[in-house]
Amino acid sequence: MYEPYPVPELAQEHKKFRYSSLWTFAKQDLRQLLFLLLIAGLVGIGVGYFWVFIFIALSLFFVLQLHSLYLVNEWISNRPYDVPPNLDGIWGALLFNVYRAQRQERIVQAEMVGLIDRAQSSLVALAEAVVLIDELHQIEWWNPAAEKLLGIQPLDRGRNILTILRQPSFIEYFNHIDQAPDGLKMKSSAFEDHYVQVKLTRFGGESRLLVAYDVTRMHNLEEMRKDFVDNISHELRTPLTVLSGYIETFTDQEELNPRWKRAFDQMQSQTRRMNALVNDLLLLSRLESNKQIAKNQIIEMPSLMNQLFDDAQAYNVDYHHTLNLDIDSHCDLIGSDMELASAFSNLITNAIKYTPKGGTITMGWHDDGEHGIFTVEDTGIGIDPKHLPRLTERFYRVDSARSRQTGGTGLGLAIVKHVLMQHSAYLEIESKENKGSIFKVIFPKERLYQMSE
Ligand code: ADP
């Protein structure tokens, strides 16, 4: 929970601070005036010039007041931090109150400066880079870690951050902070072969706080993991091909003993599963490495949808579902045809697999002018909402036994997620247990091609 920073005690004291009552001091002035008037009155009566002496007394009082006013002004203008001149009466009180208020203010200020210093020195000590960027995108302040990780130099004060961190991915992130709540991983511009995770936060209107930290170790581990999975999948491919070739030859032999036949059938189905697994792992690793994917092909959606429909019908022979195709858009897609076909096909086979025999599966392609929407709707077993957030994780299954039984690899939706990420698209799932599910793939406008009538 957020705890507000405690206001320093003196600052609180300051609010309770009581100024001396002016009346107490005004009484001193009154006494002085009365005294002067009394003396002047007596002398005036004695010498017979009462009003003249009263006038002199009033003038004297006025001069004394002017003198005090002069001293007050002189102190405030020239030496406000020195101890004020010692004055009686109302001016003395005024000086004293001003001086006391000022001292309190200075103590509070010193505490605040101390606090700021402490906050700043803790930022300086941080291993994470911290950069303050003003509303004009200029660098205001940074800590030493920012010099090391991001290459910011003393001369860069006041320079536009986008002229220093010039990677297109950073510029994109800087302009659309909200679209990447986890920040951005990018190559360090100062450190060869180093990677930093950058996170921007808006504050005070359009100012931004940049925090970056070194994630090279994590990046390297992740790369090692990807290479390992990629290599092992490649290595498994050849022995699997040999095995399945022999198994197929044996299974096809007519004079095979029925006991052996059953064993060979099982071996065949298991090698098929392993093959599917290896192929899915290779596809995932290709998607993750972001290589060899041409994302700018124009994909004719009616023909792709018909192709998917035909494949679904072939897959459907054992399930006897009613399959529907619903195309209600003239838009085509811009992307990678192989990858998108594979993602759509995963969603369709899932719908077929996870729907009890005789259900209805509808695949659709629509657009609402802003988005292209590919949908697969089934009347199947549905998914408990608690599983939805984790569904696209590798090997996450709601019911492992059922998934294996249906030949699932547990990688289908992870592949879908990666393909969609490559196309700036996202997946929406609506599902009710024992009623069915709708999987929607939503593409942004930039991915739609031409609106032919
Ligand atoms: P699998 O190879 O196990 O099907 P996926 O990644 O394709 O792996 O799917 C993950 C899990 O999501 C599945 O195991 C299944 O439990 C659930 N699932 C996916 N699609 C559907 C669907 N249309 N209806 C119900 N459950 C589904």
User: How many C-beta atoms lie closer than 10 Å to residue 330's C-beta?
Assistant: 14
- Ligand 1: which of 397, 420, 427, 434 to mutate, most ligand atoms within 8 Å of CB? 397
Ligand 1 interacting residues, C-beta cut-off 6 A? 346, 350-351, 354, 378, 380-383, 391, 396-399, 403, 408-414, 437
pLDDT of residue 212: 95
Assigned CATH for 126-214:
3.30.450.20
- Ligand 1: which of 316, 354, 392 to mutate, most ligand atoms within 8 Å of CB? 354
pLDDT of residue 7: 43
Strand partners, 361: 323, 378
- Closest residue by Cα to atom 14, ligand 1, is 397
Cα separation, 418 vs 408, whole angstroms: 18
Question: Radius of gyration of the chain from Cα atoms?
Answer: 41
* CA 222 to centroid of ligand 1, rounded, Å: 26
- Closest residue by Cα to atom 19, ligand 1, is 350
Model pTM score:
0.68
Residues of the chain with pLDDT under 70: 1-21, 291-294, 451-453
* CA 33 to centroid of ligand 1, rounded, Å: 99
* CA 268 to centroid of ligand 1, rounded, Å: 23
- Which positions ≥6 away from 391 have C-beta within 8 Å? 383, 398, 413, 429
Q: Which CATH architecture has domain 223-289?
A: Orthogonal Bundle (1.10)
Atom from ligand 1 closest to the CA of residue 381 = 25
Amino acid in position 8: P
Which helix or strand (DSSP H or E) is residue 399 part of?
none
pLDDT digits (tens, 9 = 90+) for 310-337: 999 999 999 999 999 999 988 999 999 9
pLDDT of residue 88: 82
pLDDT of residue 161: 94
pLDDT of residue 20: 57
Q: Whose structure tokens read 């990447």?
A: 180
Calculate the dihedral angle through the C-alpha atoms of 215, 219, 221, 222, rounding to the nearest 10 degrees: 140
Using alpha carbons, select from 205, 206, 210, 125 the residue that is nearest to residue 165.
Answer: 210
pLDDT of residue 157: 92
pLDDT of residue 293: 62
Q: Which two tokens stand for residue 208?
A: 């931004």
* CA 358 to centroid of ligand 1, rounded, Å: 19
Q: Whose structure tokens read 């004055």?
A: 87
- Ligand 1: which of 377, 396, 403, 431 to mutate, most ligand atoms within 8 Å of CB? 403
Taken in order 352, 354, 359, 362, is the CA torsion positive or negative? negative
pLDDT of residue 10: 43
- Closest residue by Cα to atom 16, ligand 1, is 398
Cα separation, 195 vs 190, whole angstroms: 10
pLDDT of residue 142: 94
* CA 397 to centroid of ligand 1, rounded, Å: 6
pLDDT of residue 8: 46
pLDDT of residue 285: 87
The residues spanned by each domain of the chain are 9-122, 126-214, 223-289, 297-449
Cα separation, 45 vs 103, whole angstroms: 50
Long-range CB contacts (within 8 A, 24+) of 418-421: 418/284, 418/287, 418/288, 419/287, 419/336, 419/339, 419/340, 419/342, 419/343, 420/343
**What does the DSSP 8-state code read for residue 434?**
T
Cα separation, 423 vs 340, whole angstroms: 9
Buried/exposed code over 105-138 (b: 16+ C-beta within 10 A; e: otherwise): eeebeeeeeeeeeeeeeebeeeebbbbbbbeebe
Taken in order 377, 383, 385, 389, is the CA torsion positive or negative? negative
In three-state secondary structure terms, 10 is helix
Fold of 297-449: Heat Shock Protein 90 (3.30.565)
Calculate the dihedral angle through the C-alpha atoms of 327, 330, 335, 341, rounding to the nearest 10 degrees: 20
Which helix or strand (DSSP H or E) is residue 184 part of?
strand 184-187
